[in-house]
Amino acid sequence: MSAAITDPLQTSERPARRHPVTLVFCCTILGAAAQVLMKTGANHMAHPGLAGMITNLPLIGGYCLYGLSTLLLVLALRDAELSLLYPVIALTYVWVTILSFLIFHDEINPWKLLGIVLIVVGVGVLGKGGRR
């Protein structure tokens, strides 16, 4: 039954196009989580200097997540256009703004809200692909 209702437009599209955008999407979530962890780490810095940094678990976790998100970006870039994928990274700002509101209780004002909406719409337009 479900096969019968599949959107013909979607199936005729090359699947290789969608997959990289999803990867970059995950990459932005990881990147935002990394930034939040780094901020947490910076807030709880026990000792200043290098010793404090390498014993700071949130900070190390943040760097690891950054590494992971870079790896995802590279995998995505293998199969898709750079000019299409790179601006999607701006979604990180959206997640960071939302997460820092939820976790650090940073304020969200109309400007930030407008910015978030514009970024999301912009990514949507890019996600529609390089169709001319």
Partner 1 sequence: MLLVMFGAFIGSFGAIFLKAGAHQLHKGWLYLFNWRLALGVGLFLISSYFFVMGIRPPGELSVLYPMVSLGYIFTLLWSRIFFKEPFTRNKFIGLALIVAGVFFVGLGSK
Site residues for partner 1 per CB under 8 A: 70, 73-75, 77-78, 81-84, 86-87, 90, 93, 97, 108-126, 128-132
- Looking at beta carbons only, is 99 or 116 nearer to partner 1? 116
- Looking at beta carbons only, is 2 or 83 nearer to partner 1? 83
Smallest separation (angstroms) from partner 1 to the CB of 23: 11
CA distance 77 to 80: 5
Smallest separation (angstroms) from partner 1 to the CB of 5: 27
Q: What is the DSSP letter of 107?
A: -
What DSSP line would sit under 66-92, residue for residue? HHHHHHHHHHHHHHS-HHHHGGGGGHH
CA distance 34 to 46: 19
- Looking at beta carbons only, is 103 or 117 nearer to partner 1? 117
Q: Quick check: 86 and 79 in contact, CB under 8 A?
A: no
- Looking at beta carbons only, is 1 or 48 nearer to partner 1? 48
Smallest separation (angstroms) from partner 1 to the CB of 35: 11
Query: Which amino acid belongs to residue 103?
Result: I
